[in-house]
Amino acid sequence: MKYLSAYLLATLGGNATPSVEDITNILGSVGIEVETERVEALVAELNGKDINELIAEGSAKLASVPAGGAVAASSGAAPAAAAAPAGGAAPAKAAEKAPEPEEEEDDDMGFGLFD
């Protein structure tokens, strides 16, 4: 990730095709040791490609990934149940507390966190 970040910094600085030396200089300026083989592989993979097009393609692929819809659906019930009408007394059902879920024990699963 640090090599890709240095590559992107170089392109933002106006260098359309950063070299291995450019990336090494950027990372060396902040004291990061560079694995030359990995930088060479990155530069070879991105050679001749427009970085803006690659970012656009990646964003399009990420847009199709589902992102936690089930969590949002389950949390919506509590605020609706807690709402009370503004005028008058709250109904008796609103005053009752919802039963708390039972806590699960780690022993049931056959292993513990620090075993």
pLDDT in tens, 57-97: 999 988 888 877 655 444 555 555 555 555 555 555 555 66
| Confidence band of 26 (pLDDT split at 50, 70, 90) | very high
19, part of any domain: yes
110, part of any domain: no
CATH of the domain at 39: 1.10.10.1410
34, part of any domain: yes
99, part of any domain: no
Domain count of the chain?
A: 1
Instruction: Supply the pLDDT for residue 64.
Output: 87
How far is C-alpha 103 from the chain's CA centre? 29
16, part of any domain: yes
CA distance 6 to 29: 11
80, part of any domain: no
What is the extent of the structural domain holding 11? 2-63
37, part of any domain: yes
Higher-scoring residue by pLDDT: 56, 68: 56
97, part of any domain: no
**Concatenated DSSP letters of 27-75:** HHTTT----HHHHHHHHHHHTT--HHHHHHHHHHHHHTS---HHHHHHH
